[in-house]
Structure 1
């Protein structure tokens, strides 16, 4: 009888383990949104990205594999050490299954390295460096909304074709800025242009006067702003005070989103050329999503918000299809499944984790051309995903055979 009892218990334990393996491992699926919620990129992503993630959960139905879905969030303050501590705590003690958004490239690289170590999925929508799917790629790391190469192809390519063949860069002094400057410089040179010089500024600079004077005295036709958020807005405002555009130079906002234009205002931003992966006023489907988002946040979504919605939704679809939240099984589905939602229409995921989708070259309207609130852009061109992103085979990722 004792032997039979032991055998029965062993069978039940084995059966129980099998059931758990085919569902959510701890009875729930927990997603962390880790980004800047109080600093220079707070409008860029911030709490609105958390709301976008929650929208995706609700649109999916609130459960996956009959298990509840929970969104948690935190502010990493644009500091890799703070982000790393949060990520480790989430993974080690709070049963977080995946981390997403990850504004700031240095933060995203740090958290992706932790995810690789701990076999946890991260999907980056807020950071831009191509290293995430290049030399720092991970079998569990995915890059969703945009990257520096796509921005360089879009904005940089448009201005070179329009005669902007000499450039001077104002560059944010961290990984994102370096990558954006390098990618754009390569593209400018490949198309017959040249880079006269560059200067680096600290993150969250208040005074751009010395940097702008160097750009002005360079005589470059285009001043490339390889920064983002309030840094870009402040640089544009102060450039107007120095009469840079009045003197014949053009400003290229290499990472500038709808939220930034709204904060700056059409009067100051009019005529700027920029690249985004999403525009709320492009068609009926994007307008419907934009209205839902606006009703919850009081603002229209940019590509970071819409990209976060898409990333969360695709992650949940991958769990559903895999029949488990096991990291390897879900990562396999994320690599194989097509992406088809309001953001990533016809998207595919490369072996390096790069989600390849169309980007849009946009120009900021003049104030009298805007027909309604948040109607800020004319769509100049659609950039096919195959042109916007680096071929995975040339990305430098050691996962690509």
Structure 2
């Protein structure tokens, strides 16, 4: 015998169960159809840079560049917000790894970028690989990132030590002179530049007249520059960065290297360095770069947005950060997820828009684009503020960067 009202209760119960089943089924159908999947409901990108001696090269400007890339997507992707956070690694790999580990483990950061200084870039990229996070390296120059230290989650956006030594040396030796003297900073970056540059010089029929090594953060370059001057080499190549390059170039004038007919090449020189030197000091110096703010309309459009925030023109590091973050977000949008493996595969599949110029990412993570060789203008030739470079030639990407099979990376090989 049924109790009063029990039939109605059973009918209502069955109706509720059917409704729940329909809702769950619809949700599963949406998921199977490719419903956007953003972990933790936010795409979080950490900009880990140098706020000390390299502050003007990346630093706060890299944060601005990343935010401008997020603005291109109206600060959201797949309907979820984009968050940009930042920190100073103080040029210390242990501090950088500590910050990145906290970001990955506690703050659920999806990708990290900038990573100026090779030792920092290598350390944090290794942690990103271990933690299954994306490393968009726009600061560190070491080509080991796409060689023995390559990984499916690492993409290298900076012009690396191979391109800035081998590619640059080949181009300048063909156009200027074949007798070279290297003045190199005494750590891994300088060693890589000296090794690759010497090999390229020999392959180009050039001659290494000599070389000297100097400590990082040197203020007195007298003994090193006197050795370069005494060598009578036609080209003096500075394998250095930031304040070291600025101080060295200033002192080349004090010792009369340019007046004696020697040409200065800055192997890793930024427009912020030239700005700090002034055109009177930097005039005639050769530099290579993948970005110069006044190259074309697309380069100028980004530079104007950047200048409105920073009151200075972007460096190539800051420009690379912008392109890297923009491409990363584009890959998330295309993949329909922020899953690290899926996004990095999509990044390698999609063509890269490098300020209106085509670029691509190889399986080893190396971003391939053309480099340009520039000569610094004289004060008289400069027409307006930040009008510093004259383009001399273009170095095709496939000739500038190390061939994929020579780096020691096994990604993409059967």
TM-score w.r.t. the length of structure 1 is 0.93
Distance 2:286 2:176 in 1: 14
Greater CA deviation, 123-132 or 165-174? 165-174
Distance 1:90 1:189 in 2: 45
Distance 2:243 2:33 in 1: 50
How many correspondences in the alignment?
398
Q: Which of structure 1's runs of 4+ aligned residues deviate more than 6 A?
A: 6-21
Matches within 5 A, 1:122-271: 122-271=135-284
**2:292 match:** 279
Greater CA deviation, 249-258 or 158-167? 158-167
8 A contact 1:392–1:400 mirrored in 2 = no
Distance 1:20 1:98 in 2: 22
Distance 2:89 2:221 in 1: 25
Greater Rg over alpha carbons, structure: 2
**1:306 match:** 319
The structural deviation recorded for 1:150 is: 1.9
Greater CA deviation, 285-294 or 60-69? 285-294
Secondary structure, in 3 states, of the residue corresponding to 1:51?
helix
Distance 2:217 2:112 in 1: 25
Cα RMSD after superposing both structures: 2.5
**2:5 match:** none
Structure 1 unaligned runs (5+)?
A: none
8 A contact 1:29–1:325 mirrored in 2 = yes
Residue deviations 1:119-144, cap 9 Å, x none?
Answer: 11101111111111111111100001
TM-score w.r.t. the length of structure 2 is 0.90
User: Which one of the candidate residues 360, 372, 377 is aligned to 1:365?
Assistant: 377
User: Which one of the candidate residues 44, 49, 64 is aligned to 2:57?
Assistant: 44
**2:402 match:** 390
User: Which one of the candidate residues 26, 31, 49 is aligned to 2:40?
Assistant: 26
Residue deviations 1:204-228, cap 9 Å, x none?
Answer: 2222222222222333222210011
Greater CA deviation, 289-298 or 240-249? 240-249
Distance 2:217 2:351 in 1: 38
The structural deviation recorded for 1:385 is: 1.2
Matches within 5 A, 1:52-91: 52-91=65-104
Cα distance change of structure 1 residues 324 and 380 upon mapping to structure 2, 3 Å threshold: same
Residue deviations 1:66-108, cap 9 Å, x none?
Answer: 1100001111111111111111111111111000011111110
